[in-house]
A and B are shown apart, each in its own frame.
Chain A
């Protein structure tokens, strides 16, 4: 636990990627299995633990520390795990300090009711630094600024295995990754990933600026719609099916209606969408089916899921990724034609001969189901990550609306002294403002100071951390789409709203009206 705590401290306090990499590499080199593998899993968010709720930690401390002293200490320190780690009383004869692997394996094996006792015993045996690491680990809030990419680069530095190879086998393996470390250190074979339903890191696109087109030849590119759904990877081995999100999370269980129709031998890249008869009905409908613990029959019928496929990574055990885009596309079209699965279709190519041809397409964006266009080089292999110059995304410009600031709420962290969360509204039929959204960003620090000042000077009402302001400031709001909503009085909900400009100049009476906004709703 001590080495892990020191690693966390090092990562938190050390600025700069290279220094963090060195800390990670040294830790992986010097720490035995399986501790280092569990640390790797914890840092990259791949550890599933019975986590402890903050309330349980508080309870454990309350049994040991005077509540008034705890209260003052927590006020002073500001972070629960840190306060508890520092204030936890030392015991006369502490037990032996546990290894990281021991903590994780014991937690995984424990019944829920045993967890508080385990944690208390560990806290008794540790110093303040490792206590903090333990509490962050069990409350699931490590947040030390280590991406999976950084961790994999550190692994690659253990020996002669390049980061792409680590990436390739990574998803087929599970904590504590002993085979991965053996491979990375040159002590073991490359872990076999062919027999497993393994996620492969997807290829990502760069956003394109209008002025980049001059340097690109339209004849080198293919165009597709950029569908407004969720990027997924489908892995098929006979009737075994897995569906992963773009980060490798298994999202299949929420979509049995789609998965039960699938079989074959392939790894496919595409967009998860919902709609009748393979006609996408918009992101808001898809959202109804996400983040649900149980699958709702009625929702499944109302919003049937399907996948629009645009790439193929494997056919059987043949790795197609080195092939150029056109060749893969041909293999994909043939595969889809041959299997004729009812809930898969092929994302069509858009014919064009000049960039100007595409401008009109982009604006119409195939009605509401696409959020722009994708441009892919005809000869591009399928490369994990975000390689330069191969794939571009060309998004439709956001919608804009002029809204009136209605409420402001104080932010968190470094914004805690600023009113930085803004609720805005548009004019309804009765000439009253009705809230249509909330935005937290899109402004500079300097603008935030101005907004904060305006809020303080124009407050008409206070509700705890929220201030109601007079209808006096127009905000130009950019957003990606609009959906019907029963939860909001206005009946609409915005997707990804942000402040695009502060219209100090515009009279509030000239802000937009709800009826104008409602015209953007899907039919």
Chain B
């Protein structure tokens, strides 16, 4: 029997990618009977599904966010251990994006398709690294799918943050960072750089930091910024969701330096428009070189691009002699927007 064409058993629907022979949707935007969730960010993990297949970490994140509505039948998948659903074998592999993030390999009658979800290739002290999986079709994101996006070494960005604090020790440094993933990664990188002072958190960050710690990710001394005095916050590093950096909430901080940790900070105009004084180019997504390198590594003859700047990535992939096309999926956000 010949291999089925991937496009015949994985379909794009308004709800999301549908793996037809397993009757399973990947990161569906509406409640479905069976969902596989790549990671816990809100545009991928949504409430109300019946059966939910995800890593234990992602299930815990969904539980923390959606409580009773996080899925009626959760099933934890372990990295690298196949799960059989009818004729389809489903294997979760590390994606290196945030804690619990996974790429999902679907194998059906000898045809292999990998849905990457969001991923990055850099080392991240808070989650296991991306593992390339050989496949017939690689379904990739393209959030930073333009050759102007080349993330610098995150250690240099952390050094900038610490230098800013040393330069003006009477001010607080308010770092806007997404509550899931970016926040904990910035903290872990600060610890690696030798910063062992307490780090102050906006209320929206606290629960997820505790969750990370319960999975064995050490974050060092953390304090609530809401309960701290102005004097304690002088010279301190404070993390808050990106939205809160322009909020009344920040009035409690002594003359804060506003920093934002995001891949978009690469573009000056973006940083200037948002009034960012200290742009930190730290991203949990693959940059341009990593996107192309990953396509190379998984060595798929065909690449489908889900969200981001698809056209440039498709153009570049086509130049390498592979087939590439855009999947018009709805419902995904730009990072940190």
Q: Measuring CB to CB, which residues of chain A are less than 8 angstroms from any residue of chain B?
A: 12-15, 19, 22, 26, 65-66, 68-70, 72-73, 76-79, 82-83, 86-87, 90, 127-128
Q: Chain B residues near A66: list those with CB within 8 A.
A: 315-316, 319
Q: A69-B312, A69-B315, A72-B312 are in contact. Are A78 and B269 (CB under 8 A)?
A: yes
Q: Chain B residues near A86: list those with CB within 8 A.
A: 147-150, 266
Q: Which of B32-40, B128-136, B228-236, B271-279 contacts A (4 or more CB under 8 A)?
A: B271-279
Taking the closest CB of chain B, its distance from the CB of A307, in whole angstroms, is 44
Q: Which among A65, A73, A127 has the greatest number of chain B C-beta atoms within 10 A?
A: A73
Do residues A69 and B316 form an inter-chain contact, with CB atoms below 8 A? yes
Q: Chain A residues near B218: list those with CB within 8 A.
A: none
Q: A72-B312, A78-B269, A128-B152 are in contact. Are A15 and B277 (CB under 8 A)?
A: yes
Number of interface residues of B (CB under 8 A): 25
From residue 265 to 323 of chain B, which have CB atoms closer than 8 A to chain A?
266-269, 271-272, 275-279, 309, 311-312, 315-316, 319
A26-B167, A76-B267 known, 18 other contacts, Cβ within 8 Å: A13-B279, A68-B315, A69-B312, A69-B315, A72-B146, A72-B311, A72-B312, A73-B312, A76-B309, A77-B148, A77-B267, A78-B269, A79-B268, A82-B267, A86-B149, A127-B152, A128-B150, A128-B152
A72 to B267, CA, bound (A): 14
Taking the closest CB of chain A, its distance from the CB of B313, in whole angstroms, is 10
Q: Chain B residues near A14: list those with CB within 8 A.
A: 277
Do residues A13 and B267 form an inter-chain contact, with CB atoms below 8 A? no
A86 to B312, CA, bound (A): 15
Q: Chain A residues near B269: list those with CB within 8 A.
A: 77-79
Q: A13-B279, A66-B316, A66-B319 are in contact. Are A73 and B147 (CB under 8 A)?
A: yes
Main DSSP-derived SS at the A contact region: helix
From residue 127 to 178 of chain B, which have CB atoms closer than 8 A to chain A?
146-150, 152, 167-168
Nearest to B312 among chain A residues (CB) is A72
Q: Chain B residues near A77: list those with CB within 8 A.
A: 148, 267, 269
Do residues B147 and A65 form an inter-chain contact, with CB atoms below 8 A? yes
A154 to B229, CA, bound (A): 34
Do residues A73 and B272 form an inter-chain contact, with CB atoms below 8 A? no
A128 to B268, CA, bound (A): 12
A15 to B257, CA, bound (A): 10
A12 to B276, CA, bound (A): 10
A22 to B146, CA, bound (A): 36
Taking the closest CB of chain A, its distance from the CB of B276, in whole angstroms, is 7
Q: Chain B residues near A13: list those with CB within 8 A.
A: 271-272, 276-279
Partner of B146, one of A15, A19, A73: A73
Q: Chain B residues near A65: list those with CB within 8 A.
A: 147
A-B contact pairs, 26 of them (CB 8 A): A13-B276, A13-B278, A15-B277, A22-B167, A22-B168, A65-B147, A66-B315, A66-B316, A68-B315, A69-B315, A70-B147, A72-B311, A72-B312, A73-B147, A73-B148, A76-B146, A77-B267, A77-B269, A83-B148, A86-B149, A86-B150, A87-B147, A87-B148, A127-B152, A128-B150, A128-B266
